[in-house]
A = this chain, B = another copy of it.
Amino acid sequence: MSTLLHTVSMLTGEDVRWIDEGYVIFDEGKFLKIASGKPMDSELEQADHVIDGTGKWLFPGFVNTHGHAGMSLLRGYSDDLPLDRWLQEKMWPFEAKLDKASVKAARNLAMVEMIRSGTTTFLEMYHLFMNEFAEDIDRVGLRATLMRSMIGLCSEDEQVEKLKEATDFAKTWHNQAGSRIKTMLAPHAPYTCPPTFIERIVEEAIHLDVPIHMHLAETRKEVREHIQQYHLHPLEHLEKMGVLEEARWVFAHGVHLNEEHIDLLGRYQLAISHNPISNLKLGSGVAPISRMLQKGVKVGIGTDSVASNNTLDMIEEMRMAAFIHKGIEEDPILIPVETAIEMATKSGADILEHDHVGMIKEGYEADFILLDASAAHLQPKAHPLSHLVYAAKGSDVTDMYVKGQALMRNKELLTLDEEKIKYDANQEFRRIQSLI
């Protein structure tokens, strides 16, 4: 079932080339041809589907490298509080009441929002009902890297049980759903997982040949307390434990890292998921991303959950990544447009270990979005790459394809019942709230 999409403007390849008018052909989930100009008559005849892309811009879908879709009912539930009160008085009491129906409602809402704002691939780090989420993702058609996250502040028996659940999940779902689903292991953070537990998780990750995802150095407080307890920064501690070399790591946040820590990231080829909005909103700070990029560290972009963002809009997140470092370092040449797009697409896909994802290129997976280029805020049209980073809105996204399958066409969702999902999200929110 080949598809030919013509008369479209697009961003192609690793050299960030813009084609003003071109066409793409994809079949069996992969791009067969990317070309400028008009398709040949024979190509049009051979295609099973022909789509007219007039007035639209084609970009790779976004890759969200850190999130907790299961928390999506918590959007706006608490803002503007100190982190400990936010967690202890608001987040945790609500999360303690979550059950299968409410987590499903939350995840569905997240998937609708992600598709509507152009995210084709995402990471989910959560501890509840991950098997059910994997089944849903299989059916909905998104691409994802999934993990059952583990907090180790519990008995050893409970640690063993959590780790078994996490490894079972990782084994069951890795490379499933036509390889759209990958898995990782995920100790929550150094301040919630004792070193022995982290070591056991790393052993399992090496055995399963999957990467490890963990929150790292998000707040100044957690780093200070770690140093008080272990006389080492959490990253130095991981190095001393010998676990950095053996496994593949993707750290979320990495806000409180100094130059030596950035050197460590480079030396061990550790990756960072940069979550600038969540880091600002929670008062955590600004990760030294421009220094990391200068030292060759692989950086992707993530939204974190809507409890601390409060959206899953990767255009806004990419834009913040492009703005914040220029401003903080008083240097407008940092994180230029091409770097911002690369972090939000190809680098993210690499970090989440989705092969041949994140570029519009022959042989790559046909994961892409179309944007309506007609909005006033995108005129004059002359600078589409700049507009994607600095002016576009998630609501400009009109179409989404993942592995060649349409998930949204002309703003209509094809694999999710959006009205029911929005209704359920409100119902489930009220139900859980009434239990607190």
Contact = CB atoms under 8 A, between A and B. Distances in A.
Interface residues of A, number: 74
Given A386-B79, A391-B306, A377 B113 contact: yes
A131 B22 CA distance: 44
A154 interface: no
A112 B277 contact: no
Nearest to A316: B316
Given A377-B311, A426-B380, A281 B390 contact: yes
Given A277-B323, A309-B390, A326-B283, A383 B77 contact: yes
Nearest to A429: B380
Contact of A337 (B80, B311, B334): B80
A394 interface: yes
B376 A327 contact: no
A176 interface: no
A215 B338 CA distance: 31
Contacts of A80: 326, 332-333, 335-337
A327 B391 contact: no
Interface stretch (A81-89, A119-127, A226-234, A351-359): A81-89
A172 interface: no
A379 B330 contact: no
A393 B391 contact: no
B393 A393 contact: yes
Given A81-B332, A280-B326, A418 B376 contact: yes
Tally of this chain's copies: 2
A433 B323 CA distance: 27
B383 A75 contact: yes
A382 interface: yes
A377 B394 contact: yes
Contact of A327 (B283, B330, B331): B283
Q: Identify which of A80, A337, A429 gathers the most chain B CB atoms within 10 Å of its CB.
A: A80
Contacts of A175: none
A76 B382 contact: yes
The 7 closest A-B pairs by CB, nearest first: A280-B327, A76-B383, A283-B332, A76-B386, A380-B429, A80-B336, A310-B390
Interface of A: 73, 75-77, 79-83, 86, 109, 112-113, 116-117, 220, 277, 279-286, 306, 309-313, 316, 320, 322-324, 326-337, 374-377, 379-383, 386-387, 389-391, 393-396, 418, 421-422, 425-426, 429-430, 433
24 contacts: A73-B380, A75-B380, A75-B383, A75-B387, A75-B391, A76-B387, A79-B386, A79-B390, A80-B333, A80-B336, A81-B333, A86-B332, A277-B323, A279-B327, A280-B326, A281-B322, A282-B332, A283-B326, A283-B332, A286-B328, A311-B390, A311-B391, A379-B426, A381-B426
